[in-house]
């Protein structure tokens, strides 16, 4: 009986969905606890992302029999980052545009203060705020998708370097010995 290779897309998608659900919970927890968007606590959201990326890569390695090359270990991590970024971007767009537009308004107020501190003219600030109000949810979604993919690729590279495990000669001989006991020559 031939053993089928594990599907890195299925593994990556599963972990990306789990990550997005956890991110949604964290987002609403921060909103309900009224935690400042610029607080150092915002980095808590990176921990599940990193952990789930490693778990996706580890699950793929385990399904391959415990051995994986660097490239094959990177594959599910990259896919996880891609799918997680796209799913999270959809959530961010809906969150800022429909579910909690007040969060976009709050961010725009912070930007207005920051632009005034930089010495921008009121006309420049008004134009930037008008554009931000009109396209803020879309910009947030696009920025989320791109930054998640870039950050995730770096995490996937680190994870692949940590989790790669190529079989030694003894491992190959042991595997051949195990499979040859089960093999029956049909010509005999």
Percent of the chain residues topping a pLDDT of 90 = 47
Tell me the C-alpha distance between 78 and 150, whole Å.
9
Tell me: pLDDT of 13 over 90: yes
pTM: 0.81
Query: CA 117, 121, 127, 132: dihedral to nearest 10 degrees?
Result: 0
pLDDT of residue 1: 44
As a whole number, mean pLDDT of residues 104-115 equals 80
Tell me: pLDDT of 4 over 60: yes
pLDDT of residue 173: 72
The token pair at 28 is 């609403």
Say which residues have a Cβ less than 8 Å from residue 20's Cβ, sequence separation at least 6. 84, 87, 88, 91
Q: Residue 3, exposed/middle/buried by CB under 10 A (0-12, 13-18, 19+)?
A: exposed
Q: Residue 159, exposed/middle/buried by CB under 10 A (0-12, 13-18, 19+)?
A: buried
Tell me the C-alpha distance between 14 and 187, whole Å.
44
Residue 61 contacts residue 166 (beta carbons within 8 Å): no
Tell me the C-alpha distance between 89 and 16, whole Å.
12
Of the given ranges (41-50, 56-65, 112-121, 171-180), which has the lowest mean pLDDT? 171-180
Backbone angles phi, psi at 5, to 5 degrees: -75, 145
Task: Tell me which of 178 and 119 has the higher pLDDT.
Answer: 119
Tell me: pLDDT of 67 over 90: no
Residue 148 contacts residue 81 (beta carbons within 8 Å): yes
Tell me the C-alpha distance between 27 and 126, whole Å.
28
Please, what is the average pLDDT of the chain? 86
| pLDDT tens track for 129-186 | 888 778 888 998 999 999 999 999 999 999 999 998 887 777 677 776 666 555 454 4
Task: Tell me which of 168 and 93 has the higher pLDDT.
Answer: 93
pLDDT of residue 66: 86
Of the given ranges (66-70, 93-97, 120-124), which has the lowest mean pLDDT? 120-124
Q: Residue 74, exposed/middle/buried by CB under 10 A (0-12, 13-18, 19+)?
A: buried
């Amino acid at each position: 009986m031939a053993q089928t290779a594990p599907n890195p897309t299925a593994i990556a998608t599963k972990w990306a969905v789990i990550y997005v659900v956890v991110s949604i919970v964290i987002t609403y927890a921060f909103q309900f606890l009224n935690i400042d968007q610029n607080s150092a606590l915002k980095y808590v959201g990176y921990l599940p992302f990193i952990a789930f990326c490693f778990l996706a890569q580890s699950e793929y390695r385990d399904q391959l029999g415990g051995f994986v090359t660097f490239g094959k270990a990177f594959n599910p991590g990259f896919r996880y980052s891609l799918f997680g970024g796209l799913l999270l971007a959809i959530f961010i767009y809906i969150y800022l545009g429909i579910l909690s537009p007040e969060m976009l308004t709050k961010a725009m107020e912070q930007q207005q203060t920051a632009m005034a501190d930089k010495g921008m003219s009121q006309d420049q600030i008004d134009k930037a705020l008008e554009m931000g109000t009109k396209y803020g949810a879309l910009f947030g979604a696009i920025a989320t998708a791109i930054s998640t993919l870039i950050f995730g690729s770096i995490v996937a590279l680190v994870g692949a370097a940590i989790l790669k495990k190529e079989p030694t000669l003894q491992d190959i001989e042991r595997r051949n010995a195990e499979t040859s006991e089960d093999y029956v020559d049909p010509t005999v």
